[in-house]
Structure 1
Amino acid sequence: MGCSIIKDYIISDGKGSCKPFFLEQPTAIQGMIFMLCKGGKLSMKINSIEYTIRKYSLLTLLSGSICETIEISDDFTFEFLFYSIDFSFELNIPVNIDLLEKVSRFPVVNLAEVQFESMLDFHSFMAKHHGNEEHKFREHLAKNLLASFMTEMCNIYGEPREHKSYSDVYGRRAEIYRHFCKLLIEYIKKERTVQFYADKICICPKYLSQLIKQISGKPIMEWINGSTIIIIKSMLKTSPMSISQIADELNFPNPSFFGYYFKKHTGMTPLRYRES
């Protein structure tokens, strides 16, 4: 099958030249991605949290997610689909806030073999019709099949998960933690101080720092700096903007400090990373 494209809607079996861009370099996702893992292993950071994707895993990435591949095995095989935000507006699918909340908390779900094979069959059926360029109503059919796929996603995420959520363990503190994660995705391009995020949540910076470390095991500045570096790496590799323009876009005081910041956290200059 390889890869088939309609507007900003891509569906692929992972073979050929159509490889997911987010596996190749740090990326801020601008759309929706679904991946079914058929074998092998992928370790990935999603919004600064590390996940493992293996056989029978379903990976779902929401728009705005910040992801970076840590390690990928040679035998990693998968099928995936991607569609842009603009394309999603054409689907006329009601936004399910509960579904989005669950996906943001559990981007990786391990399915039972029967359920996984069912999703894989559905994906293959979608791909077959998506790639049929002679079909008179190809785009209309592709949209309707995608809407059906999303309905099945609602069913999967509607099932109880085996593991406990942060809310089950940490209660109110978990709500603050999730609020911080959402704010980080929204404001990371412009804001990198604990004070800013604490003010947004209406708590003191010291308490927010303690809470994030307690729940996640990582200092809050590791979250902030780690997310910032992923955004910078993504822009250096994918954006036509100059390094000075990227520094300005990300609200750094000047290109010199931008270069110092990036080298401090990566060990190389922005130019060297861009050319690597």
Structure 2
Amino acid sequence: MKPSIKLISNYEYKKLFLPEVSTHDLFNESKLQVYRIENYLTSIVIPVNPYRTSFNFLIFVTKGFVKQQLETSVFDIKANEALNIKQGNFTATLELSNDVEGFFVVYENEIITDIALNKNDLSFFYTSPFLILNAVTFDWIVRAFLLLEEELFTTDRVMEICVALFQSILLKIIRLENKGNEVLSRARYISFHFREQVQRDHVNHKTISYYSNLLKISDNYLNKCVKDATGKPPKQWINEISILHSQILLQDNSRDVAGIAFELNYQSPSYFSRLFKKVTGYSPSEYRLQLAK
């Protein structure tokens, strides 16, 4: 059996999707990197097939729009808006407007862990990926990004200053997002941990009871929490995350559909194909044909 989906590194991301990237940017492995969307992402090969990264990134749009898939949702990120994408999430850039501008920030987990965040602050990273900013906060963040960009690209840069500036940006966003929501609801908390566990275990475990047992709650309570927090029941999440995983496997033409079905522990290739079509609107074979176009 072939190994499952790996997380692509920052270097691999640039190599795969950015054919015109400079040598300097290609080999930049700093724990914090800031690029202009108009200079960095506009050369991306669109549409990008779903992938998972070993790093986190923030898309902050100041003009135009970016259409980005994150897990099972698609976001149109416009001016004054941002999308935070965690390490390991399924994601893909689907479209960029011709006039798009903004900042694309790559950051490692240690950037987050170095900030003194309380439980409610940390909820931002798993419950609120999409952000709509008010004009005052937007202007403040743009000015902070300009300072961060200036420090990052100066010859005698001080990385501690760069990290502190970005952490200030994150805190500004987090505190705005959490204002008026002082207590992280139990439903959102359970929903997050359920989805994180599904990401890890969906290949071998596709029943609701497995996850409710892990979380030490009843099936009914898990169903209520996840549906209240996300609008979708747990079984739909399990199916959609598993099918997202299979979409990445299907990008490898050396794998046959039946082999992928059994690798993901479906009872039969025909059942897998029916579920794939229910989730995506295409059969696995039709999906491959779409990739080849």
TM-score (norm 2): 0.68
RMSD of the TM alignment (CA)? Answer: 4.1
1:82 & 1:232 partners in 2: Cα distance?
26
How many Å apart are 1:74 and its aligned residue? 5.2
Aligned ranges 1:43-82 → 2 under 5 Å: 44=68, 46-48=70-72, 51-68=75-92, 75-82=99-106
CA contact (8 A) 2:188 2:226 kept: no
CA contact (8 A) 1:190 1:251 kept: yes
- Tell me if 1:243 matches 2:255: yes
CA contact (8 A) 1:189 1:249 kept: no
How many Å apart are 1:116 and its aligned residue? 1.7
Which residue, 188, 196, 199 being the options, matches 1:185? 199
Partner letter of residue 102 of structure 1? F
Q: Deviations over 1:67-109 (max 9, x none)?
A: 3567765554332111345xx48x9835636333223222222
How many Å apart are 1:13 and its aligned residue? 0.9
Q: Deviations over 1:158-202 (max 9, x none)?
A: 3464675895xxx54444333323323333454322222122122
Distance 1:259 1:56, change over 3 A: same
Q: Deviations over 1:97-136 (max 9, x none)?
A: 633322322222222323322322332343345345xx2x
The residue aligned with 2:37 is: 14
Which residue, 233, 237, 242 being the options, matches 1:228? 242
The residue aligned with 2:210 is: 196
1:30 & 1:248 partners in 2: Cα distance?
26
Distance 1:211 1:146, change over 3 A: closer
- Give 3-state SS (helix, strand or coil) of 1:24's partner: coil
Q: Deviations over 1:203-258 (max 9, x none)?
A: 33344334433443323222112222223334544xx7942698399643699469
CA contact (8 A) 1:42 1:69 kept: yes
1:166 & 1:52 partners in 2: Cα distance?
28
CA contact (8 A) 1:34 1:61 kept: yes
Aligned ranges 1:153-172 → 2 under 5 Å: 153-159=170-176, 161=178, 167=184, 171-172=185-186
Partner letter of residue 243 of structure 1? R
CA contact (8 A) 1:48 1:227 kept: yes
Which residue, 227, 246, 252 being the options, matches 2:265? 252
Which residue, 209, 217, 236 being the options, matches 2:231? 217
2:172 & 2:47 partners in 1: Cα distance?
27
The residue aligned with 1:27 is: 51
- Give 3-state SS (helix, strand or coil) of 1:15's partner: helix
2:262 & 2:197 partners in 1: Cα distance?
18
Partner letter of residue 165 of structure 2? S
Greater relative contact order, per chain length (Cα 8 Å cut-off, separation 6+): 1
The residue aligned with 2:164 is: 147
Distance 1:52 1:188, change over 3 A: farther
The residue aligned with 2:12 is: none
Partner letter of residue 222 of structure 1? Q
CA contact (8 A) 2:262 2:269 kept: no
2:236 & 2:269 partners in 1: Cα distance?
22
List gaps (5 residues or longer) in structure 2: 1-20
Q: In percent, how many aligned pairs have the same letter? A: 16
1:12 & 1:208 partners in 2: Cα distance?
40
Which residue, 107, 116, 121 being the options, matches 2:129? 107
Distance 1:54 1:203, change over 3 A: same
2:174 & 2:45 partners in 1: Cα distance?
25
TM-score (norm 1): 0.71
Q: How many residues align?
A: 262
Distance 1:44 1:16, change over 3 A: closer
